[in-house]
A and B are shown apart, each in its own frame.
Chain A
Amino acid sequence: MYTLPSKLKLFSIILIVLGLAGITYGFLTTPKTIGDVNEILAQQEGHEATSHHNAETSNFVDTMRGDEGYSEAAMEHATDLSAEGQGASSHEEHMLHQFQTRPWSATFVAAFFFMMIALGVLVFYAIQYASQAGWSPVLYRVMEGITAYLLPGSIIVFLIVVFAGTHFFPWQNEELVAGDKILQDKSGYLNFPFFVIRGVIYLLGWNLYRYFSRKNSLDQDNATDFAPYRKNFKASVFFLIFFLITEATMSWDWFMSMTPHWYSTLFPWYIFSSLFVSAITVIALVVIHLRSRGLVEFISDKHLHDLAKYMFAFSIFWCYLWFGQFMLIWYANIPEEVTYFIIRIQEYQVLFFGMLILNFVFPILLLMNSDYKRVPWFVVITGVVVLIGHYIDVYLLVMPSTVGHHYGFGIPEIAAILFFLGLFILVVGNGLAKVSLRPKNDPFIRESENYHF
């Protein structure tokens, strides 16, 4: 039986409090009026002479198609893009919106990052059941513990996307839609009621599976036959179908529609790869934590080795999809599509390409060697790097689309990470603590405990 160490508990509570304070600070200090923006600009110009004025005009395609795509403000601003129409007032109004969006984006990035870990673990867990894996049943309680975060995590994410409104989703601005033919055509999908209904469906589906699979899995401990296991097998298969579909629509809803003129067919699977590799990494980290406390002697080096192999393989898989999406858009260079990467390369260059080193080069080099995959501190180091890399990945999905070049990594971002990290540790710690970490009576548990290769 695991109990969250009191120091770790205290630590997580401190993180939550600090994070909450920082997030509140972030929301309270956004400029309220154009006057505030002017003050900030005056200050900035004192610091750096070159400001980003040209970047405003970079999105020439959306201009040609009617407007810009980055955010509501950017879109409104686009009508003024003609040389003489570059009115100062609209420019500042646009900046004001981006400044006001920043705390929302910062919170959302961290909120989604931790939720996607829990969701990814749930998918991994379902795959283990559906594929009748013989190596992983010893990890079931660990995975169930991590997915405990899914319920609070997904509710928070849901609340953010529902209340973020035009901060994230320009298509929720009725005036804008009224003047935009493309958005009108999309309104059959991109409309607020349907958006909320879809969100509710995702939440229900994911959390119901999590609830029932855990219940069945625990029931199996005291069962005399394999009935609960069989139920779980079925549930896992159906969940995986449900997930495959809802993951795609979720990606469109919560990320792709931030730039509602842009589209890419690979996008949902790209997000999936990020989610999946982060989740496996967290499983490995939690296993190492539990092993260091001597609580899971039945989880051997071999299991760690397998987890590390998955980290390795899916880091490559992530890079494969990243490259597939990027290269195809770069190669064809179709104006509608390249805007997405233009802003990311122009304004976020170091992060955009640096992420490749963290998410691909680093794990591939560190985890190539078979022996290294069994050395806990090696896996921990790689795991931390991979998680940082995928935080940046989510950051790059959101920030360029919402705050444009007014991004930063300051109190709002750090506070959001602290808050959700604290919450994650607390919830997962409690999730692990409720039951024995050793599953019993699973049909494959003995195979799993005797697992060698």
Chain B
Amino acid sequence: MSSHYEAPIREPLVLGEKSYADISADVAAPVLGKANKSWWIVFTIALIAFLWGLGCIIYTVSTGIGVWGLNKTIGWAWDITNFVWWVGIGHAGTLISAVLLLFRQKWRMAVNRSAEAMTIFAVVQAGLFPIIHMGRPWLAYWVLPIPNQFGSLWVNFNSPLLWDVFAISTYLSISLVFWWTGLLPDFAMIRDKTESPFQKKIYGILSFGWSGRAKDWQRFEEVSLVLAGLATPLVLSVHTIVSFDFATSVVPGWHSTIYPPYFVAGAIFSGFAMVQTLLIIMRKVSHLESYITVLHIEYMNKVILLTGGIVTVAYGIEYFIGWYSGVPYENYTYLSFGAATGPYWWAFWALITCNFIVPLTLWVKKLRRNIMWTFLVALIINIGMWFERFDIIVVNMSKDRLTSSWTLFQPTFVDIGTFMGTIGFFFVLFLLYARTFPVIAQAEVKTILKTSGAGFKKLRADHGDN
């Protein structure tokens, strides 16, 4: 009996009678082939959105932050909403690659590469906002504790905004290293497969001379495990630190001790929704249905259900404690009776509908395995999680302690344009990635082929387990 025994009750993770060569060929096909017309159309749209966003950013920086809809009461709105939204999306990638590796989930292997790419591209978008929402972004380097000519004037390490700098930059670098390490064998595969000398050169450089010796693989596995062990507390702490931006304050609704784990759960929830959105399209256009199967989509839906459930319980706790605290200010916080009936009632109900009510449908197995429905729900969750951050930031600030400072927020076209621009930028990066990178970790999928491949499972069923 080998260590590769798998219970027959488990569904196959690789469909069709695939061999190792088939996997390489399927994964390499989009890289070796040419982009079709629809790719160019989508790419152009994304690029235009990106350029438009870039214009908005340049306009903001050169004219002043006043071109946004912010006011004296609500100093953070779309900028930080988008920042938290993008960071949150980036969390699913690390969850899939690190946490699921620690939990030895074999199904992660078909989705981890794209999830990690999504992380990196999402964190890049997120990283824009802390810079561009500054009044004087050209002094941004002052946030770094660099010895200087002002008598070595340093930063104050007590601010969660400074912790953000460290959290986000560490997160981006570790994710990048983790992702790239995993890519080495796959780049090597493309290098060895391509006919074009130019591609051979490029992938030769990218793959760092990977030759796949036993010792290399041994080290590779160890590094992956160590990085996964480091990335897991990292992923928790990054969004925890993002949550500290609010929770350390004394603003009613922001100051809440549940924020650290609740933000992390929300990040995984929204991140998985984004993975679903991307992979459902990608499996279709890149012909990867045999690897990203309905089972993968169902598993991801189950993670969405779990984290959505945790988030829902956190909403309940917030709402309850808001009442239980007996503090009158708590009645205007984003999860309170006051918010549900106040001027931002639509944002409150958008949050409840998109994050709680609609995902409940995934409890039905038929809907959970329905690709179209999953796609729809995933989109709705993405919208809902944007509203969650908007509610937390804007609703809580709109009615703070002094009634004389109560006000509402109205975004300008620059707020909206910048957000659209980051979406465009994200898709520019992701579309380029989908054409040039092996989007499935073929080396990893090959390790589970003989235990979890449909063909091999059938062989075992026919000929016995031993």
Contact = CB atoms under 8 A, between A and B. Distances in A.
Interface in A78-137: 132, 134
Between B10, B247, B309, the greatest number of chain A beta carbons within 10 A of the residue's beta carbon is seen for B247
B186 interface: no
Interface stretch (B67-75, B251-259, B287-295): B251-259
B257 A336 contact: no
A324 B260 contact: yes
Interface string B310-325: 1001101110110011
Contacts of A321: 260-261
A334 B261 contact: no
Contact of A444 (B7, B249, B314): B7
Interface string A134-177: 10000000000000000000000000000000000000000000
Contact of B317 (A248, A334, A453): A248
Contacts of B237: 320
Contact of A134 (B7, B250, B255, B324): B7
Nearest to A302: B3
A328 B104 contact: no
Interface in B255-283: 255-261
B181 interface: no
A332 B255 contact: yes
A263 B321 contact: yes
Nearest to B247: A328
Interface in B208-253: 233, 236-237, 240, 244, 247-250
A267 B257 contact: yes
A452 B6 contact: no
Interface in B62-101: none
B197 interface: no
B160 to A, nearest CB: 9
A336 B252 CA distance: 13
Contact of A325 (B244, B257, B318): B257
B52 to A, nearest CB: 39
A189 interface: yes
Interface string B2-22: 110111011000000000000
A357 interface: no
A336 B327 contact: yes
A377 interface: no
Given A244-B313, A266-B261, A447 B327 contact: no
B464 interface: no
A266 B260 contact: yes
Given A332-B249, A450-B3, A266 B258 contact: yes
B326 interface: yes
A410 B309 CA distance: 43
A334 B250 contact: yes
A446 B7 contact: yes
A329 B257 contact: yes
B3 A182 contact: no
B249 to A, nearest CB: 7
A241 B318 CA distance: 18
Between B261, B317, B327, the greatest number of chain A beta carbons within 10 A of the residue's beta carbon is seen for B317
A328 B236 contact: no
A186 interface: yes
Interface in B1-52: 1-3, 5-7, 9-10
Interface of B: 1-3, 5-7, 9-10, 104, 233, 236-237, 240, 244, 247-250, 255-261, 309-310, 313-314, 316-318, 320-321, 324-327, 465
Interface of A: 132, 134, 182, 185-186, 189, 226, 241, 244-245, 248, 252, 261, 263-269, 316, 320-321, 324-325, 327-329, 331-332, 334, 336, 443-444, 446-447, 450, 452-453
11 contacts: A186-B326, A264-B321, A265-B258, A265-B321, A266-B258, A266-B260, A327-B248, A328-B244, A336-B325, A444-B9, A453-B3
